[in-house]
Amino acid sequence: MASHDRFRIVGGTSLRGEVSVTGAKNSVLKLMAASLLAAGTTTIRNVPDIADVDIMADLLTRLGCTVVRGTDLVTITVPQEPAHRADYDLVRKMRASINVLGPLVARVGLADVALPGGDAIGSRGLDFHIKGLESLGAKAHIEHGYVIAEAPNGLVGAPVELDFPSVGATENIMTAAVLAKGVTTIDNAAREPDIVDLGEFLISMGAKIEGLGSPLITITGVEVLQPTDHTTITDRIITGTWAFAAAMTRGDITIHGARAEHLELPLEKLASAGAIITSTADGIRVKMDSRPQAIDVATLPYPGFPTDLLPMVIALNAVAEGHSLVTENVFESRFMFVNELLRLGAKIRVDGHHASITGIPQLSSAPVMASDIRAGAGLVLAGLVSDGVTFVEGAYHVDRGYPQFAEQLRSLGADVTRVD
């Protein structure tokens, strides 16, 4: 365990002030993996200062790349012949490691990638990834805890239809198809901003891709790609977290770097809870003057309500006026978070995919445990609307998604520190 692995939160503060949102974790890790597609030096900018970036850098280093981290950028020099094995000791720390699968199969015709660990959020099967690569002519199977994919004679473009718009599968099929012979279509493709960002990154390397942000992506394979220089989009989940934090604590936060168009539904929901949301020159301002009104939410793939903001919605509803129903349609174990909120006195009943919440004016402090990145952030926010002092264990989870979270909260007037 890292030292200072608990947050100590003194409740009762309204968050007021300004924050800046960094590059998106879910985008930058995928961009780093995709840099494997071109020999030479690729530069990625607006890189967040989070542990997962270091883990991905380690993984790429083992695959033969030279990775250098600057202040908010990373340069990756990729060899002509990258290695093809991603070991369990790194992959287990971070699910995004699976994103080297597509690029390696495309570049070297072989990939051995350990089955990922990372967050404790349900099974998130890799079937979609494997089926997709098989459609392009790869042979793939799972053996001794590794996904082994081979395409010694190269990949061939084909129509791929996803049963579910899986982000990871869309990414792996896209990064494999850019070097395949002929045309690949991905039907029921994920539409997340991260997919669009990755697609634009690939296009800047010389890939031919149409339909980004729509359910049908068309990729025409090319023979070779060139390294590139790309700036990552800002993190919509961090933006959403700050927006919910302002609403829950009846605060007033100006969020620099926020892209409202990536969060249309969450911001609409916050407005219906009573928040006043305005555009600023480089982001948004979220202000809340009264106790929030309860909001019903059902998570869905983008442009639906993001599952990653579910803990923030439940925490808001726990102190809102009225009853609400929150439905999780994406990840099955997301409600582990609810058990911790119950310890803080929240009134929540879970039935399968649904949580029924009755708001109370204030939660009551207790020690709680973070099970993943977003649950951790949600519990810290819940601590801010509890009486007394709340301790959240498992702070290292939060570090994986929120750079300098305690420092940013303190800059907004909260009494939040890291303790052993």
Residue of 143 and 405 predicted with greater confidence: 405
Residue 81 and residue 14 share a domain: no
Q: How does residue 168 score in pLDDT terms, banded at 50, 70 and 90?
A: very high
Give the pLDDT score at 217: 98
Q: Which domain holds residue 102?
A: 25-231
One domain for residues 223 and 247: no
Report the C-alpha gap between 300 and 329 in whole angstroms: 6
User: pLDDT band for position 117 (50/70/90)?
Assistant: low
pLDDT recorded at residue 209:
98
Q: How confident is the model at residue 1 (pLDDT cuts 50, 70, 90)?
A: very low
The reply to whether 214 and 330 lie within a common domain is no
- Catalytic-labelled residue, pool 119, 194, 197, 308: 119
Mean pLDDT of the chain: 94
pLDDT digits (tens, 9 = 90+) for 327-381: 999 877 778 899 999 999 999 999 999 999 999 999 999 999 999 999 999 999 9
3-state secondary structure of 183: strand
Both tokens of 405, joined, read: 């979270």
Here the tokens at position 204 are 């800047």
Q: Which two tokens stand for residue 182?
A: 């002929």
Final residue belonging to a domain, choices 231, 262, 283 = 231
Which CATH number belongs to the domain containing residue 198 in this structure?
A: 3.65.10.10
Residue pair 11/390 in contact by the 8 Å Cβ criterion: yes
| pLDDT higher than threshold 60 for residue 254 | yes
Q: What is the pLDDT of residue 90?
A: 87
Between CA 379 and CA 402 the distance in angstroms is 13
pLDDT above 50 (res 123): no
Grouping H, G, I as helix, E, B as strand and the rest as coil, residue 182 is: coil
- Same domain assignment for residues 379 and 305: yes
Same structural domain for residues 198 and 246? no
Catalytic residue check, 5: no
**What are the tens digits of pLDDT across the range 5-15?**
999 999 999 99
Considering the domain architecture, whether residues 170 and 51 belong to the same structural domain is answered as: yes
d(CA 380, CA 280): 27
Q: How far apart are CA 284 and CA 262, in angstroms?
A: 12
- Decide if 1 is inside a domain: no
Under DSSP, the state recorded for 223 is S
